Amino acid sequence: MFSSSSGKYASRSDADLLAALRTDDQGSFAEIYQRYCYRLFTLAYQKLKSRETAEELVQDLFENLWSRRASHDIQQLEQYLFSALRYRIINHVKAQQVRAGYELYCRLAAAQADRTTEDALALNELSAALLASVRRLPAKTREIFQLSRLEQYSVAEISGRVNLSEKTVEYHLTKSLKLLRGYLRDFLVLVVVGLWQW
């Protein structure tokens, strides 16, 4: 995306690089990338144990840094980068947990024809619980969850559609995942116990 930084950037402080970045200086961005990319990747990989996912999260972080370079109000670059990465890791893990529950639900739905009446009732209860859980979300949180998870809009796209900041959209997504996990926890435990009996 950018050429590697030259020696003139390597000696600059983070504060100087940030100031240059705000003026669209690609060399300062390349130096920031070179200075922090490996350490950020290492942290993400240690937490997620997936090279591909770690690379995606770090790449997303730097893309965000570049695309919002003029509007970022970053005081401490290193602290900002590592905090932003930790936030992305936490959101990724939460999304994986909900996705795992949803995939389990889908597998149950696909195998419904082979089930006994009791299993079919359990599946219907889980389906009803999932729909009821989504309906229980506060209106704005539900709208943002549906745009993100069902209609596959990005945070930036949702921000524009609902006229809220990206940070507020991310807050609603985090809130929806937390609430849904709580709503569905009992049902998922029952389903897993049922799976062990097959």
Handedness of CA 12, 14, 19, 20 (dihedral sign): positive
Give backbone dihedrals phi and psi of 3, rounded to 5 degrees, phi first.
-70, 155
CB within 8 Å of 169: residues ≥ 6 apart: 144, 155, 158, 159, 162
pLDDT at position 12 is 92
20 with 62, same domain?
Answer: yes
Q: Write down which residue in 28, 55, 89 finishes a domain.
A: 89
Q: What's the predicted TM-score (pTM) here?
A: 0.52
pLDDT tens for residues 182-192?
777 766 665 55
State the pLDDT confidence band at 175, using cuts at 50, 70 and 90.
confident
The Cα–Cα gap between 144 and 43 comes to 29
For 14, the domain range is 1-89
Per residue in 18-36, pLDDT tens?
A: 999 999 999 999 999 999 9
Note whether residue 135 is domain-resident: yes
User: What is the phi/psi pair of residue 154, to 5°?
Assistant: -80, 165
Whether residue 144 contacts residue 176, with contact meaning beta carbons closer than 8 Å, is answered with yes
Contact 140, 172 (CB under 8 A): yes
Q: Rg of the chain over CA atoms, in angstroms?
A: 21
In a domain, 96, yes or no: no
Residue 10 domain flag:
yes
Residue 196 or residue 167, greater confidence: 167
Q: What confidence category does residue 132 fall into, taking pLDDT thresholds of 50, 70 and 90?
A: confident
Would you say residue 150 has pLDDT above 80? no
115 shares its domain with 153: yes
Whether residue 58 has pLDDT greater than 70: yes
Neighbours of 181 (CB within 10 A): 15
Q: What is the pLDDT of residue 190?
A: 58
The rounded mean pLDDT for the chain is 83
- Is the same domain home to 8 and 73? yes
pLDDT cut 90: percent of the chain above it: 36
The total number of structural domains in the chain stands at 2
Between residues 145 and 29, the one the model is more confident about: 29
State residue 8's pLDDT score: 82
The gap between the terminal CA atoms of the chain, to the nearest Å, is: 52
Residue 98 has which token pair?
């909900």
